[in-house]
Amino acid sequence: MSKRPTPRGENLRRALAQEAARIMAEHGIQDFLLAKRKAAERFGVHEGGVLPKNTEIEQALAAYQRLFGGTVHLESLQALRHAALAAMRRLREFEPRLVGSVLSGTATEHSPVQLHLFADCAESVVMRLIDQGLAHEVTEKRVRMSPERVLVCPGLRLRIEDRPIEATVFPPEGIRQAPVSPVDGRPMRRASALEVEALLGGCEPADHLTAATCP
Q: Tell whether the model's pLDDT for residue 211 goes beyond 60.
A: no
**Percent above pLDDT 70 for the chain:** 90
Residues constituting the chain: 215
Assign a CATH topology to domain 71-208. Answer: Beta Polymerase; domain 2 (3.30.460)
Q: What is the pLDDT of residues 4-31, one digit of tens each?
A: 556 667 899 999 999 999 999 998 888 9
For the chain, what are the domain ranges? 7-52, 71-208
Looking at residue 205, its pLDDT comes to 41
Looking at residue 135, its pLDDT comes to 95
Query: Which pTM was predicted?
Result: 0.84
DSSP 8-state class, residue 69: I
Looking at residue 3, its pLDDT comes to 54
Looking at residue 183, its pLDDT comes to 92
Tell me the helix, strand and coil percentages in the chain, rounded to 5.
Answer: 50, 20, 30
Distance in angstroms between the alpha carbons of the first and the last residue of the chain: 40
Q: What is the pLDDT of residues 22-76, one digit of tens each?
A: 999 998 888 999 999 999 999 998 887 889 999 999 999 999 999 998 899 999 9
Q: Which residues, at least 6 apart from 95, have a Cβ–Cβ distance to it below 8 Å?
A: 117, 118, 175, 192
Looking at residue 4, its pLDDT comes to 57
Q: What is the pLDDT of residues 83-129, one digit of tens each?
A: 999 999 999 999 999 999 999 999 988 899 999 999 999 999 999 99
The helix (run of H) or strand (run of E) holding residue 43 is: helix 32-43
Can you tell me the distance from the alpha carbon of 155 to that of 167, in angstroms, rounded to the nearest whole number?
A: 6
| Phi/psi-derived region of residue 199, left when phi > 0, alpha when psi is between -120 and 50, beta in every other case | alpha
Q: In the predicted model, what is the mean pLDDT of the chain?
A: 89
Count H helices and E strands in the chain, helices first. Answer: 7, 5
Q: Tell whether the model's pLDDT for residue 210 goes beyond 90.
A: no
- The SS3 assignment for 125 reads helix
